[in-house]
Structure 1
């Protein structure tokens, strides 16, 4: 006995509504997301009991800031890489070849020693002679 087979129906899934829902969700996430871009490093300076404050009469200075993770910033501009060549290029560009500008290094108290030595090495190789290390004044306990 032969049975007749029913012809199979082709099943189509309508993707138009699914695409609409995905785009609405994407739009929702884009609108509700906040994009923050931090341009300054948070640095907790080490303490020192002795020292003299820097004079405020300087017009142009170079400030190297090093975070606890070893990320460099020159005059509040983050450097893309934390290596000697990048730091030297940024110093050369910012100083325009003037090695008489005062250069201060502000490193976090937990910064690896190698990061500070790299900053000092970059300044020395470029010929900077006025180098300062910044600290905060220690609280003297009675």
Structure 2
């Protein structure tokens, strides 16, 4: 009879306590959420024009960067003007609530900016914004 009692107590002690492992998993999850950047940058630095009427967008955005020499950058990659529509469509499908922001250098030619805006509209997004710097009053 004693052997039975010893076996049943050994079986009760054989259970694995999952609480510490779950704590570690949740801490790692919180760490990765906090350190992840949710804004996709265009991958280039531009000298944006200033505006007194600029507004701040709070949601995650799709940023299309245009350098002064006419290079177009999306998601840290240089793209051709013909690929803007496909890239913006893909990124918009991944983040349907995000808006499209065009970060054009102040020296960018107008025809390049208009061509990019046309490609964005052909992708089905009618409310693209142009990034500016706030002007001090």
TM range (shorter): 0.5 to 0.7
Q: Tell me the CA shift for residue 138 of structure 1.
A: 1.8
Counterpart secondary structure, 1:95: helix
Aligned with residue 47 of structure 1, among 46, 50, 59: 50
Deviations 1:67-115 (A, max 9, x none): 0011111122221x2x2x2211222233338765310001000000011
Structure 2 residues without counterparts, runs of 5 or longer: 1-41
So what's the TM-score if we normalise by structure 2? 0.61
Structure 1 residues without counterparts, runs of 5 or longer: 1-38
Relative to total residues, which structure has the larger helix share, 1 or 2?
2
Q: How many residues align?
A: 96
Match of 1:106 in 2: 103
Deviations 1:48-84 (A, max 9, x none): 11222112xx2x42110100011111122221x2x2x
Match of 2:30 in 1: none
Q: Structure 1 120/99 Cα, relative in aligned 2: closer, same or farther at 3 Å?
A: farther
So what's the TM-score if we normalise by structure 1? 0.59
